[in-house]
Amino acid sequence: MNEAAETPVIPATILFVDDEANILSSLKRLFRPFGYRIFTAEGGAQGLEILAQESIDLVVSDMRMPEMNGAQFLEKVRERWPQTVRILLTGYAEIGATIDAINKGQIYRYVSKPWEDNDIALTVKQALQQKMLEREKQRLEALTQRQNEELKDLNAHLEEKVLARTNALNETMQSLDAAHEKLKKSFITSVRVFSNLIEMRNPSKAGHSRRVAELARTLAQNMGMSAAEVQDTFIAGLLLDVGKIGLPDHLLDKPFSSLTFDERAEVVKYPVKGEMALMALEQLQGAARLIRSHRERFDGTGYPEHLPGLSIPLGARILAVAEDYDTALMGSSYAKPMKLAQAQLLIQDGRAKRYDPAVLDAFLDEVSKAGTAVENNTELVLRSTQTKPGMMLARDLMTHTGEMLLAKGHVLDEKIIEQIRGFERMDGHPLTLYIHAG
């Protein structure tokens, strides 16, 4: 419901002032049917008393009255109650006094005596309508002024409120970003732990998947892959050998060229098995597809699908280079570890056959930069007794058997340092920590 519908209609209040009782009676009889509240006074003094006690909308006063005439009375009404409408009853012979009432009392209209009932009734009705319009105008002006003040106050504080809400939103976003980053780190740490568990099946390859993943991630970044693609490549490097879990022990380190037909048929299934093992996890599906294709060859003679050239996913082409390079450096049961230069020459020999030339160029550029970084001594090699809170690991912290304890980038604190020293006392072997020198 609106305000007008809820506000009860209050009848107008009229005061008739005349020293003749019969005129007052006539006026009361005439106006009573209209539903007005009616007061009467037999003189100006009595009329002023009524005005002081009641809220009067309109006054009709006779001109000729003893002690205080109509002009004088209406002048006092104008001074004390200017909102009250004023009408004068006057005779034809009183034109001078009427003009005086108009000037001093500022009357709405004068009515000549004797009056016509319809004329005076219409005059009163029109006067009250005008008063109601003026009252409504004042109400709307007051409402407009109040709303303008509220709007002014709102505008004055709007910038402050927007800034406060913006700051609150930024704090929320920062909290969400921090939570997301923490969740992301926890996810990667879980994948690293799983990778270590896989390598426990073949201790001779301890640290292999970690090194492959790190090199593959660097090459992916250098080749302009998106952040999501870089992460998929990194995770795939950590989990490359997940499909080998079901292979017999004697096949784990046996060179592919020395495998029998049946053994090859078994081994070539491991990339597909690796993909199948991870596809159920949505966050690992991208990495799973790279694991499936990392044994393909650029010339199309690889497995499991004999994909040629650029039809092999870029992440898989990168992993092929990174895995073979680390395998050459660490050696296997059938081959001795190579030196850096020998391993790099071996990889270069596979250009356009085993490896994508573009990936090979990125690899050679990276190993060249890595050699420069070692020469510039950007890492500190420390024992746990030399570490201090606030230092950051430049490499994964590994046990002497190749198991990862802490991931690269972890910032040491007093509690972690004490745990490392406790592990050394229990294991009986000192740990080597690689710390960022900057």
Q: Distance between CA 332 and CA 251 in Å, rounded?
A: 12
Which CATH number applies to 204-376?
1.10.3210.10
Question: Does an H or E element contain 109, and which?
Answer: strand 109-112
Q: Is 275 exposed, middle or buried (0-12, 13-18, 19+ CB in 10 A)?
A: buried
What's the whole-number mean pLDDT along residues 102-115? 79
pLDDT at 32 over 60: yes
Cβ atoms within 10 Å of 4's Cβ, excluding its own: 8
Which CATH number applies to 377-438?
3.90.105
The residue among 193 and 117 whose pLDDT is bigger is: 117
pLDDT tens by residue, 87-97: 988 875 566 66
Q: Distance between CA 363 and CA 47 in Å, rounded?
A: 109
pLDDT tens by residue, 205-263: 777 888 899 999 999 999 999 999 999 999 999 888 888 887 887 777 777 777 888 88
Rg (CA), the chain: 50
**Orientation of helix 314-330 relative to helix 285-293, angle to 10°:** 60
What's the whole-number mean pLDDT along residues 251-277? 82
pLDDT given for residue 371 in this prediction: 60
> Measuring CA to CA, which residue among 211, 205, 179 is closest to residue 192?
211
* Contact indicator for 420, 431 with CB cutoff of 8 Å: yes
- Helix/strand/coil for 213: helix
* Contact indicator for 139, 118 with CB cutoff of 8 Å: no
Residue 286 structure tokens: 């991208």
* Contact indicator for 363, 321 with CB cutoff of 8 Å: yes
* Contact indicator for 362, 219 with CB cutoff of 8 Å: yes
All structural domains of the chain with their residue ranges: 3-137, 204-376, 377-438
pLDDT given for residue 290 in this prediction: 95
Task: Give percent of the chain with pLDDT exceeding 90.
Answer: 38
pLDDT tens by residue, 350-364: 999 999 999 999 999
Average pLDDT score over the chain: 84
Q: What is the DSSP string of 214-251?
A: HHHHHHHHHTT--HHHHHHHHHHHHTGGGGGTTS-GGG
Task: Give percent of the chain with pLDDT exceeding 70.
Answer: 85
Residue 345 structure tokens: 């020459």
* Contact indicator for 17, 47 with CB cutoff of 8 Å: yes
Q: Is 280 exposed, middle or buried (0-12, 13-18, 19+ CB in 10 A)?
A: exposed
Matching residue, tokens 């199309």: 300
First-residue to last-residue Cα distance in the chain: 73
> Measuring CA to CA, which residue among 292, 279, 353, 281 is closest to residue 319?
292
CATH C-level class of 3-137: alpha beta
Residue 226 structure tokens: 């998106």
pLDDT given for residue 23 in this prediction: 92
User: Using 50, 70 and 90 to split pLDDT, how confident is the model at 182?
Assistant: low
